[in-house]
Structure 1
Amino acid sequence: MHPVRSFFQATRDIRILWGSVFFRMAGYGLTNQVLTLHLEALGISESNIGLFMSLTLVGDTMISYFLTWNADRIGRKRVMMFGTLLMFTSGFTFAFSSNFLVLLTAAILGVISPSGDETGPFKSVEEASIAHLTPENHRPEVYAFYGVFATAGAAFGSLICGFLVDYMNASVGFPIEKCYRIIFLVYTGISIIKFILVCFLSPKCEIHNHDMDNIASEENSLLEAVEQDTTKSNFVSLSDRTFYLLPRLLAIFMLDSLGYGFMTSTWIVYYLKKTFEATATGLGLLFFLTNTVNSISSLPSAYLAKLLGPVRAILFTQAPSGAFFIVVAFLSNFYSASFFLLLYYITTSMDVVPRQILLTSLMPREELTKVMGIVNIGKTFARCIGPIFTGKFAAHGVLHYGFIINGGCVLLADLILATNFLHVDAEILHKQSIDAGFD
């Protein structure tokens, strides 16, 4: 484990991608605090808010499918630039429109995160680019820093939003709806910063750049077998090995995301606001803390992935995470609920780096953009289902059911993963033992 070495040796493109995810997640952290409450302030019912969330995720799935599947042909940099323009468009629309259908169209065709987490084509393309730019033995650390910057951005956005809303509402005297609209204007400003950053990416991020070809000779027999199968694939198909492994992994990841869709961060904010009458500043501070501990946990997760192997690392962190989330449903005050939410957020993202390692180690480099796209699209699609029911739960005063369903799906997904994929840890740990440097 050499995080300091990996951090300072990382190339300029990797650093730009770290900056890109920081600002994007800062924008999502901002809108996460106000999206559900803004829709309610516009007079939209809880059931329709749930429908809104689901349809937004459907739109994200469609946009992500097209852009990620074609990213290597269009160009990864161009796809990220276009996605940033979609962020700007949707944020601008939310800042000035009150019409439900207009907002829904902007959310579906643009990039608004209904969950406060990753949405759109960015994550898939960035993860594939990082894998392309990073040797195997540095990937856990580089992905860990990617996660650190992502959650640090979300924490920053959450904190700023809470204080801004309360200041504008209580001190300046702005109506609460106007406060929410200003937050979306800040979101558009962040999208401009992100666009400028992406413009500085070099051609090395593209799959057709072969500067990293020397790394392939150091990969073990597992990846060599995968690359032999890859010769059978073309732009519209995947290798035989990918067809074998990907559906099995995807089913596990989608089950996990299915549960998450029942209680996304925006609904957690809504639950805490309605159940415990939490203030915007209190919620901002809480989600600043949760995202901060979430950020810090990325580095230990890289260590666990190298020590235990990615599958065992996922199981070690996700099982407690699911249990902590279920407990929240049975708590009767804000402070105890906040404590268990902190425990949940400490552990819930510790599986992100191991999952990235698992996928990038098993799949051929030439197919990573498509594979990452399929996985993230599948996870987003699975999340579409939950919000419809969550809106109904909220309307009938049983929103706490979402915590139970979420945690139950996580525990079931862990059981299936342990049954089917524990054996791959040894192969991946061997691959990571090969020392290589950045190009």
Structure 2
Amino acid sequence: MAIVAGRWIPQSATADARVLLTTRSLRGFADGAVSVLLPSYLIAIGFSAAQVGAIVFSTLLGSAALTLAVGLLSHRVGRKRLLLGTCILMCATGIGFAASRNFWALFFIAVAGTLNPSAGDVSIFLPIEQAALTETVEARDFTVIFALYNVGGSFAGALGALASGLPLTLASRFGWTTVEAQRSGFFAYSAIAILAALLYLSLSAAVEADPMPASARPLAKSRTVVLKLSALFSIDAFGGGFVVQSLLALWLFRRFGLSVQAAGTFFFATGLLGAMSQFLSSSLAARIGRINTMVFTHVPANLFLMLAALMPTAPLALGCLLLRASMSSMDVPARQSYVMAVVPPEERAAAASVTNVPRSLASAFAPLPSGLLLDYSLFGWPLLIGGGLKVLYDVLLLMQFRAVRPSDEQSSLASD
């Protein structure tokens, strides 16, 4: 990584890289705002915590199915076309949520749409963008560009979370009810989709993968390693599904009586911490390797998550969650970079999809029991269960992949 024009950016990065970094930030802002608005909006229109969990489940389940489809079809349909198509779907999702108050209507819109309740890396856009991003830099810069990609998304997500309280702040000025004010956030979500589509139009043909023969099978060369990683990532994602941002916000609303504005401010702070921590990911991975970076930052983060569940007051719980946020995202660039580095270029879109789909599926099933737990108890059982599962993932990942290093990592570590 080098400092160019005063900014941390790989020297090999192309103009396409800047477009993808910008669109990631735009979507991060939209996801950050909606992830906090969603539970408050659903409660305001009369849904129970269990129903909120079911809506979150449906968003993640639908995302998994769509992610698998776009990842396996991207080498035939084209990455740019798929990104534009997903923007259309994102726009329709925002309008659908703003227009309906019926549980089953929203459930099916969530299944077919792009709503991301985690404000993180569970999204139909991600496998396409991740694969395209590897075409914009040299292999040695993968972790750096993924760090910038995730920092942009996390920072924008933090701003989105902060902005989630803006509609309620403006409600009295415009004479809106609480529901009307929160609906405006979903219309803004649709507007951001249109802006992202305009940026995707500027992508060059360089982001496309080399064409594969019609008879070629996805992951023909890297099937074994990708499936092993997918199985491990699903454990991590299942644990994370208990504490996606929407459900964590719901727990804070119910356990400590936080307002939407206060929760938005808090998630702004956690988002900033997560974004800043990812700047360290690439340099840490260069020194100790991607797998060690993932595990050694993830374990303490999840111990703080579990500790937050035991705290008797809001300041103590929020303090533990802030400490968790300072480390919990450092594994993300290293994980994405690792997957892209251990598979051949022509299989990267499929690998990104196949490793993200189990994450989405596993995340999808956790909100159901999490919502039920929150309906029957204000204690932080979801935090304890989620943190414990994520620590289990860390241990298994270290045991199985510590010695499996990509070629660029072997040479760089050998020279140190």
Uncovered stretches (5+) of structure 2, i.e. residues with no partner: none
Aligned counterpart for 2:192 among listed residues 184, 190, 193: 190
Q: Is the 8 A contact 1:238 1:367 kept in 2?
A: yes
The C-alpha deviation readout for 1:208-241, integer Å capped at 9, x for no partner, is 28xxxxxxxxxxxxxxxxxxxx99x95434224x
Give the secondary-structure state (helix, strand or coil) at the position aligned to 2:368: helix
**Aligned-partner Cα distance in 2 for 1:117–1:365:** 25
Give the secondary-structure state (helix, strand or coil) at the position aligned to 2:348: helix
* Residue 424 of structure 1, CA deviation: 2.1
**Aligned-partner Cα distance in 1 for 2:150–2:196:** 17
Paired amino acid for 1:190: I
Matched residues, number: 412
User: Against the structure 1 CA distance between its residues 254 and 39, is the aligned structure 2 distance closer, same or farther, given a 3 Å change threshold?
Assistant: same
Superposition TM-score, scaled by structure 1 size: 0.89
* Residue 422 of structure 1, CA deviation: 1.0
Give the secondary-structure state (helix, strand or coil) at the position aligned to 1:236: coil
Correspondence for 1:332: 312
User: Against the structure 1 CA distance between its residues 433 and 394, is the aligned structure 2 distance closer, same or farther, given a 3 Å change threshold?
Assistant: closer
**Aligned-partner Cα distance in 2 for 1:289–1:159:** 9
**Aligned-partner Cα distance in 1 for 2:328–2:171:** 33
The C-alpha deviation readout for 1:141-165, integer Å capped at 9, x for no partner, is 1111111111111011111112x13
1:56 aligns with 2:73: no
Q: Could you say what the CA RMSD is over the residues aligned between the two structures, in angstroms?
A: 2.1
* Residue 417 of structure 1, CA deviation: 1.0
Correspondence for 1:168: 170
1:238 aligns with 2:240: no
1:352 aligns with 2:332: yes
Give the secondary-structure state (helix, strand or coil) at the position aligned to 1:166: helix
Paired amino acid for 1:139: F
Correspondence for 1:311: 291
Uncovered stretches (5+) of structure 1, i.e. residues with no partner: 210-229
**Aligned-partner Cα distance in 2 for 1:135–1:52:** 40
Aligned counterpart for 1:148 among listed residues 145, 148, 151: 151
Q: Is the 8 A contact 1:137 1:433 kept in 2?
A: no
Q: Is the 8 A contact 1:253 1:379 kept in 2?
A: yes
Aligned counterpart for 1:109 among listed residues 85, 108, 112: 112
Q: Is the 8 A contact 1:309 1:426 kept in 2?
A: no
The C-alpha deviation readout for 1:379-399, integer Å capped at 9, x for no partner, is 000111111101110110145
Paired amino acid for 1:53: V
**Aligned-partner Cα distance in 1 for 2:40–2:260:** 11
**Aligned-partner Cα distance in 2 for 1:345–1:234:** 45
The C-alpha deviation readout for 1:140-199, integer Å capped at 9, x for no partner, is 21111111111111011111112x133124554422111110111111111111111111
Q: Is the 8 A contact 2:299 2:391 kept in 1?
A: yes
Give the secondary-structure state (helix, strand or coil) at the position aligned to 1:117: coil
Correspondence for 1:362: 342
* Residue 427 of structure 1, CA deviation: 4.4
Correspondence for 1:33: 36
Give the secondary-structure state (helix, strand or coil) at the position aligned to 1:285: helix
1:199 aligns with 2:179: no
